[in-house]
Amino acid sequence: MNYSKVFLCVLLTLATMGCNEGGVSGYATGPGTFEGYVDGSPQGSGGTGPALTKGLNFVSIKPGTFLMGSPTYVPGLNFDAADETQHSVTLAHGFEMQATDVTQSQWVAVMGSNPSYFAGSKYCPKTFVHVDQVAMCPDNPVEQVSWNDVQLFIQTLNSNAQDGYTYRLPTEAEWEYADRAGTTTEYFFGTDTSQAATYAWSWIDPGSSPWRLFDHTHEVAQLKSNPWGLYDMEGNVFQWVQDWLGSYGASSVTDPTGPSSGGQSGERVLRGSSFGYDASTLRSALRGSEAPDYSFFDIGFRLVRTQQ
């Protein structure tokens, strides 16, 4: 379901950017329009070895048990009509989660090109780089990537990194466990959405103070992290996780990985909300979903890694 496209096209039209079926008007998307540097050096194609993982910072997450989902009274429970039945989840094994979303420079280091819409100098005037037909805002999250695109990125990274780790997307349970970071409130920052601006790039309701409306992504790790040192878990861009969308059930589970197939919806789960949504969508339990071949300019991802 293209909930993000419908809503954000309205917001971006209001911001005078315009919207069309192929993307946002005014953005160069064809061959030869992108240019950039990776890790300070010209980079025209994906490489091999340690350079691929330079700048990929991870936070160690210990095993534990938590309540996943929401009690039925939570406002906005049925966003995207996804089940949020509250249930106990045990993660029996620790893992490392990337401290930020994967950035444009990190994507280019592996894949040699930049699919992002928000790659022009107007979105990162202090950091913009341009070389070898690849343009980028190097510290902004990569976006306009489908779940399938992310799988190719991960396959390429695992084949070439040669660093003793296996990289993957987090499961949905791992993502929510890390987002909550030991908290039990609707939001990892508490219950007061007026605090959202401290932690997340999100649209703040015009009835609140201060009012703001964002029309693009922002550099990662510029706001406060959650209690476990993870930045931009909410807001900036939605994040793909590994799971197919499915109902939870109320029983306790250990190391869940979601349904074995796409079922009726055929969609993969998205977590974390984006720059174009209001603070109510920053709840730790909130679920979205899209088809695995769908991409949009507010969808990115972050990695998990385990030692081989």
Taking the domains of the chain in order of start, what are their residue ranges? Answer: 3-19+33-307
- Bridge partners, 281 (sequence order): none
Average pLDDT, the chain: 83
Separation of CA 298 from chain center: 8
> Mean pLDDT across the stretch 98-120?
96
Stated as kind and residue range, the H or E segment containing 289 is: strand 288-290
CATH fold label, 3-19+33-307: paralog of FGE (formylglycine-generating enzyme) (3.90.1580)
Q: Give the tokens for residue 294.
A: 């769908």
55: region left, alpha or beta (phi > 0 left; psi from -120 to 50 alpha) = left
Stated as kind and residue range, the H or E segment containing 158 is: helix 147-160
pLDDT in tens, 30-77: 222 222 323 333 333 456 667 778 789 999 999 999 999 998 766 655
94: region left, alpha or beta (phi > 0 left; psi from -120 to 50 alpha) = beta
Separation CA 146–CA 156 (nearest Å): 15
- Confidence (pLDDT) at 71: 84
